[in-house]
Amino acid sequence: MADITGFVFDMDGVITDTAKYHYLAWKEAAQANFGVTITPAVNELLKGRSRMDSLDAIITFAHQEGKYSQAEKQRIATEKNQRYQTLIQSMTPADILPGMADFLNLLDQKHYPLAVASASFNAPFIIQQLHLQALLAKVVDPGTLKHGKPAPDIFEAAADLISSPYASTIGFEDAEAGVKGIKAAGMFAVGIGDAEILHEADIVFSSTAEVDFDRIKKAFEAWRQ
């Protein structure tokens, strides 16, 4: 029976919760540039999507498609990112989601290689703020990828960073598109959140506090048979 050879993690919603900061920064940008107030429901649609895809989704929500040049969109995205970067300066290890620091330490003690598969260009900075840079030293550069989630590219790149064959790599995700990406890469998917939304995952925990190594290992072994 093949053993697990590595773990790859989405960051936002799995390691820490940055959605509230993205929401604040996009809310201000949407108000200032498009005169609309984005709702929590719109914010849900932005989770896991790249910066420019998020902006396009907000422009669609504001019914202002086709109104902005690429240069204007770039300016708005840059301003949003500057605001976001100011907000995440205040992040500390207390912002690690419940149970995840212990879980990452356990994996490290067991000598599993770990990598981060986040769509965020700010992931390395956030990992530093959380004091996780020793455990999560391998981070995919999203700028090197052709296709975002739900494509498998980012998960494959993360597994490649730690030389872990895809079929024995465990991927963690809180977003439906992310779970689809993990499955498209041929990996075992751990979902964090609503089991109905994440029904394509191989095992789902309702929150990070529930994540359990032995249950994952058992479910992986059953899946590999």
Closest distance of CB 201 from ligand BG6, Å: 17
CA atoms within 13 A on the CB side of 95: 22
∠218-12-220 over CA atoms, to 5°? 10
Task: Establish whether 10 is a catalytic residue.
Answer: yes
Strand partners, 204: 191
> Rounded to an integer, what distance in angstroms lies between the CA atom of residue 147 and that of residue 209?
31
Site for Mg ion contains 13 (CB under 5 A) = yes
C-alpha distances in Å from residue 31, one per residue of 28, 38, 132:
5, 8, 34
Sole binder of Mg ion in the list 4, 7, 10, 55 (CB under 5 A): 10
Closest residue to ligand BG6, judged by C-beta, is 120
d(CA 38, CA 61): 8
The nearest distance, CB 177 to ligand BG6, in angstroms, is 10
* Separation CA 57–CA 39 (nearest Å): 13
The site that binds ligand BG6 (CB under 6 A) totals a number of residues, namely 15
Options 10, 153, 174, 202, the catalytic residue: 10
Q: Which does 174 bind (CB under 5 to 8 A by kind): Mg ion, ligand BG6, none?
A: Mg ion
Q: How far apart are CA 23 and CA 7, in angstroms?
A: 28
Tell me which residue of 139, 145, 84, 90 sits closest to 117, measured CA to CA.
Answer: 139
- Is 12 noted as a catalytic residue in this protein? yes
> Using CB under 6 A, which residues numbered 89 to 118 contact ligand BG6?
118
Q: Which is nearer to ligand BG6, 8 or 46 (CB)?
A: 46
Spatial contact of 130 and 16, defined as CB atoms under 8 Å apart? yes
Task: Please give the residues from 157 up to 176 whose contact with Mg ion meets the rule CB under 5 A.
Answer: 174-175
Per CB under 6 A, contacts with ligand BG6 among 64-93 are 81
Q: Out of 6, 12, 129, 152, which residue is the one contacting ligand BG6 (CB under 6 A)?
A: 12
Among 16, 33, 122, 164, binds ligand BG6 (CB under 6 A): 122
List the one residue out of 197, 221, 193, 224 whose CA is nearest residue 207. 193
State the catalytic residues. 10, 12
Footprint of Mg ion (CB under 5 A): 10, 12-13, 48, 174-175
Footprint of ligand BG6 (CB under 6 A): 12, 22, 46-51, 54, 81, 118-122
